[in-house]
Chains A and B, each alone.
Chain A
Amino acid sequence: MAEIENPTTENSVPFYPVHVSNEAKVVLGISVVAIVIGLIGIFSPVGLGEPADAMNTPAHVKPEWYFLGLYQLLKYISKTAGAVLPILGVLVITFWPFIDRKPDTSSRSYRNRAVGVAIFMVILIAMTIWGEVS
């Protein structure tokens, strides 16, 4: 796990042409999806709201959906904590490899991390949905 793997030939395929053609299929699939989305866009465009007006605040102001959970959190905890916590979180995530340095020995560590991610994602999605409906 810790070492750089040098895969033997019977457990691997050459990068070209086998892997490249596989990746090309993925790219083709994504392109088809993008083109279908573009075709839908001809008939129902993304559209625009009212022009921006700094004097007129709308009733329900919301940020983009990926900041919605954070915004919802900010409503209920103090302003300082709400700004410091995400920064600390990002720092912890950034330097996580230097915190969790023990090499994996069993699939139990996979399961533990999966559970942790699941709890975090459930909280994040719940906050986002809460922010969307409130």
Chain B
Amino acid sequence: MKITSRLIVLLGFCMAILLILAWPGESQAGPAVPENPPASEMSTDWTQAKTIFSENLHQVLPSKFTAAALPPPEKDPCLHCHITGEEKGLWTPLVRWIMFGGAGLIFAFGIYRSSSVWVTREPWKPILSRTADWFDSRYEISDPLSKFLSKPVPNFARRWWYCLGGITAFLFVVQGLTGIMLAFYYQPTPEQAYTSIQFIETQVNFGSSIRMIHHWSANGMILMCTAHMIRVFIMGAYKKPREFNWVSGVLLMLLTLGFGLTGYLLPWDQRAFWATTVATEIGAAIPVIGDLVLVFARVGWDIAAETLTRFYALHILILPLVTVASMGAHFIMVRRQGIAKPL
């Protein structure tokens, strides 16, 4: 019985396909596409390609873009042409393909879904859960994932002041994204740094927005990091068994300040230059190794091109890598030990 019904379905499919194939087609109307030039004349001549393109453009684009002659509106008797938009040349082959093709895809999916339910006698499962099952049967991810996702979060940890660390982490993500965008246009040389930032501010689309977000998000990150640290300190969340969480947090705070120090020089204007000068002079005041610190930070006694490239490398390579690693350790420890219960 089951086999018979399946045969009937198959027969129906075959008949439908035959019908579609045998349907009398429309004869090719309109100007024929010019033949490709023979191979001897083939060249990468751009003007020739442009000519061929523009000659065939009206087949895919609405005629208002190809400047085809339209009848004047007052002489046009066709009302339904106005309603369907035919008058404006919107009903192009491309639009027809999209509309009927889309409808056809939906129809094909419906046929597949109905016949699948009919054949398997099981309720239809959405494509997403099907995909998940497909991967889960091969890689067994749902069990550890559900353990990870169903971990209980205590109610005391849902107050707003437990959010500060998460906000810092999200601001770091914002910094990463906007920083990557800025790095596309920034040039870390004394000759080019200033002008490339001017270029970002004035020429690049949304360049000044991205720089503004990067600037204020950096300040916000320092504020949020400090606030998170104060919260943890006051509530005594650093105490046993979470000592190393505090240590990694202090390291992250120092890394954030390092991001601020190295990033501030990059615009290479007077403020950046002299702020970095005095900030590195603080390091030079250390008793025994002061000069060493100064020379290491500035790559020499003065702030020069090498200082800029060193700060740039630190800002976009070294510090992000160390920060991501420390953040990973920080989060894994929080996850493992849970959030400290307040008194």
Contacts and interface: CB of A to CB of B under 8 A. Distances in A.
Interface of A: 1-7, 9, 11-16, 18-20, 22-23, 26-27, 30-31, 34, 37-42, 45-54, 56-58, 61-67, 70-71, 74, 79-80, 82-84, 86-87, 90, 93-98, 100-101, 103-104, 106-107, 109-110, 113-114, 117, 121
A83 B170 CA distance: 33
B288 to A, nearest CB: 10
Contacts of A50: 269-270
B273 A74 contact: no
Contact of B154 (A11, A37, A40, A113): A11
B250 A54 contact: no
Interface in B210-251: 210-213, 215-217, 219, 222, 230, 233-236, 238-243, 246-247, 250-251
B20 interface: no
A91 B278 CA distance: 23
A67 B236 CA distance: 27
B285 A83 contact: yes
Contacts of B149: 14-16, 20
Contacts of A103: 239-240
Interface string B271-300: 111111111001111110010000000000
A100 B343 contact: no
A106 B236 CA distance: 11
B239 A45 contact: no
Contacts of B278: 61-63, 71
Interface size class of chain B, counting residues whose CB lies under 8 Å from the partner chain? 35 or more
Nearest to A26: B163
Contacts, number: 219
A51 B194 contact: yes
27 contacts: A1-B340, A5-B341, A7-B152, A14-B149, A15-B149, A15-B151, A15-B152, A16-B149, A42-B209, A46-B211, A48-B197, A49-B271, A50-B269, A51-B269, A52-B268, A54-B273, A63-B276, A64-B260, A83-B285, A83-B287, A93-B250, A101-B239, A104-B239, A110-B234, A117-B233, A117-B234, A121-B230
Contacts of A37: 212-213, 216-217
A38 B230 contact: no
Nearest to B230: A117
A64 B235 CA distance: 30
Nearest to A38: B209
A48 B197 CA distance: 8
Interface of B: 148-156, 158, 163, 166-167, 170-171, 174, 190, 194, 197-198, 201, 206, 208-213, 215-217, 219, 222, 230, 233-236, 238-243, 246-247, 250-251, 254, 257, 260-261, 264, 267-279, 282-287, 290, 302-303, 337-341, 343
B208 A18 contact: no
B309 to A, nearest CB: 15
A46 B153 CA distance: 40
| Pairs A-B, 5 closest by C-beta atoms | A41-B212, A83-B285, A38-B209, A12-B152, A52-B273
